[in-house]
Amino acid sequence: MVDPLGTIVAAVELVQGAIKFCKQVDGLPQQMTQLGQRLEELNCFLIALEAVVRKKISSTNRPLASPLTLQLGHILANIKNNTAIVFTLVNSNPKKIQDVMDEIDHQRGVLRDFLVLLNSQGLDNLPQPQSPQKTKAKGTPLGPSVSRNDFRLLFVDPHNIARSVVAEVMTRVLGQLTKDEQRKWPIAAIRSAGFFVKHKSDCADMIGAMDYSQEPWYYMPVERGGGTTSAVPMDALFDTHLFKKRYMQSPSQSFDAKTNELANKSKGLRRHIFDSYDYILVFTCREYRNVCKLRELLYRNGIGGGDRAHVVHLGAYLLSNDGPNKIDGGAPKPVEIIKPKANKTPWENRQDWDAKVVQIQLAIEGFLQQEMGWTAPNVLADRGF
């Protein structure tokens, strides 16, 4: 591969063309729509690859080492060959479409592993490629990383007044309970933000101007922000077994903590998040796609979109009543962690949030266990739910 960057850009353009094809051709089955979604996820990793390779070449002022270019060339050739098949699938049987989706998932995993190695070992210390393994479920980019204690997490929902704040506070308390038992806690920073919020954001105008024409339901008006956290989610959160254990000895401390959280002001995203956080965690496919599109837009404009952060759908760590959620019997599909509707009686709204808080806690614990090798503290053994 003589020109690594040129080859990456060509792969990006081909994948983007396939995404556009899946969206614009009339009469496509639902499975083809899902194929387009898989391609969007693959494109996020290609954009990150382009960014990191460009940065590495620029910083060293020399071409990539030959073994590295050979491995990268092989990965990109497989991606391009499989993507080219997409344009022939309109009248194909479901099994053939599913086979292409499975291969895209596999290639995304190989590309993800390649990026992890670039970030952890550098270009000149890349080991020889091993036999590739099938990827994990969507939203699970890395295996347990128990040796680190400096992970940075950012929870993102549309307006940073409910789910993202619940998740931030809950994760912080899980950390406190873990450290109280002298157990290892792998996280150094936990934050939350809203995608469609102007307050403290330096990219809200870009978010408002993003192209939502293909998926207009992914758009929400960009709000001013700076508002306080919703009271009902916080009431539900502080009534959980988790918080009762944390503040068992001091009810007044629990009251003060809840008061502090309710006083927090909702804030938006900043351009540096993809370079500043290890994981950006979202709750629905809409938020997942929007964050990935923002990363691509920032990178294309040369003002962000770095390769450090993994965008993760928290619902990938939940199981449905019948086991893992599936897409047409194929790859696992994340559970959508949707904000409860507010147009109910106060009692019904509180009931909905009680259930939602438990769902968020289970997803966070699953994420911590699978990705960071976290062990739940003994105090959580008797959960109460």
- Total residue count of the chain as it appears in this document: 385
Considering only CA atoms, which of 376, 25, 353 is closest in space to residue 162?
A: 353
Q: In this structure, are residues 258 and 238 in contact, taking their beta carbons and an 8 Å threshold?
A: yes
The sign one gets for the Cα dihedral 230, 269, 164, 169 is negative
For the chain, the structural domain boundaries read: 4-125, 151-380
State the Cα–Cα distance between residues 64 and 31, nearest whole angstrom.
39
Q: Given the structure tokens 């494109």, which residue do they identify?
A: 43
Q: What is the dihedral of CA 357, 360, 362, 368, to 10 degrees?
A: -140
Instruction: Give the pLDDT confidence score for residue 171 in this predicted structure.
Output: 94
Instruction: Give the pLDDT confidence score for residue 27 in this predicted structure.
Output: 58
| Residue 186 DSSP label | -
For 150-163, what is each residue's pLDDT tens digit? 999 999 999 999 99
Question: CA neighbours within 13 Å on the CB side: how many for 315?
Answer: 20
pTM, rounded to two decimals: 0.66
Tokens at 49, concatenated: 């690859």
Pick out the chain residues at pLDDT < 50. 1, 121-142, 145, 320-331, 385
Domain 151-380 has CATH 3.40.50.2300: yes
